[in-house]
Amino acid sequence: MKATQQLHDNGQSLWLDNITRGLLDDGTIEGYINTHSVSGLTSNPSIFDKAIKTGAYDTDIMAQSTKGLTNEEIFFDLATADLQRAADLFKPVHDRTDGVDGWVSLEVSPLLAYDTTKTVEAAKAIHQKANRENLFVKIPGTPEGLPAIEESIFSGVPINVTLLFDVDQYLAAADAYLRGIERRIEKGLNPDVASVASIFISRWDTAVAGSVPDELKNKLGLAVGFETYRAYRELMASDRFQRLLNEGARMQRLLWASTGTKDPDASDTLYIEGLASPFTVNTMPDSTLDAFYDHGVLSDPVPSDGGDYVAQLERFSQAGVDKEALALKLQDDGATSFSSAWSELLSRIDAQLANAKEKS
């Protein structure tokens, strides 16, 4: 049995962190579902930027431009069409798991990050436009994004909380989710609104590369993950969540993101094997998924109590790493990177329009 199937059978969902029209057209995504135990996918502006750069969307971009749409509107039309197709591929999984699995994700514009009202409106519009029950809308779990997450959950929109880096940021996002559910219960609404909380892993190790001893290389991301997993399991067992569970709510699942290995000297399956854990998701790029399918080895699951994360984090502290300050920096840098990628994406559409017009 392949390692991907073993991981799935042990209770973790494997999602693909990629989507392009080419992967849909040539059957790659459907093949991953059938052979690699993939049960969902995520997307981001950088992924679409690279896909649009190939020219695969030129015809559609030209057609959309004749409607007087803005570049952002053109993008959402293109992305929504792709994600609708992907959502349909994962619909059997979504149905079989009663909505636990089989999700795809599309994010709101990062340019709305500091406007709660517009973010909530955009999340509703995206979900309505897609018209797929298994589509998450991605909202960053920044301090400014937390009110929008609560409001979106309260309004019944499934949310993928992104850009989370440590246990404090995770717990803040989980609290926003639970508040939204609690408000639904108070209003007599169905509390079954799904969500995932995405913890970014590999960027921790990239951030401290070269500034910690060799014996600590590529270990900070996993230690942070273990600490967060303990908090996740504790929250799941808490009286607060158990009361909501009794009302028909479901747990916001923990999702491991940024799990492609960045260090060429480290194992290409480092974060997949290291973060095996039941009732979580691991979303990974194609290369990491293929590597784990080819030669991955299923390791022991993450201990529910986080194992030795305290000792590991103490070693980093002694090496001069301020984890709390770094978590804030990583989140700020991530938000800036998302905004930059968004601007590049819109510029890419401009460039492809110009190229297409020259050819016509």
Q: Note if 329 is an active site residue.
A: no
User: DSSP assignment, residue 189?
Assistant: -
User: DSSP assignment, residue 76?
Assistant: H
Catalytic residue among 53, 138, 217, 329: 138
For residues 47 and 238, what is the distance between their CA atoms, to the nearest angstrom?
37
- Cα dihedral 263→267→271→275 (10° resolution): -150
Containing 157, the helix (H) or strand (E) segment is none
**283, β-bridge pairs:** 15
Residue 144: CB atoms within 10 Å: 15
Side chain identity at residue 125, one-letter code: A
For residues 339 and 325, what is the distance between their CA atoms, to the nearest angstrom?
21
Closest CA to 47 of 4, 101, 103, 106: 106
Query: Quick check: 124 and 130 in contact, CB under 8 A?
Result: no
Closest CA to 167 of 300, 331, 336: 331
Residue 98 has phi, psi (to 5 degrees) of 55, 40
Token code pair at residue 115: 């406007």
Query: Quick check: 42 and 309 in contact, CB under 8 A?
Result: no
Burial (Cβ within 10 Å: 0-12, 13-18, ≥19) of residue 37: buried
Burial (Cβ within 10 Å: 0-12, 13-18, ≥19) of residue 178: buried
Residue 72: CB atoms within 10 Å: 14
**135, β-bridge pairs:** 104
Q: Which of the residues are catalytic?
A: 138
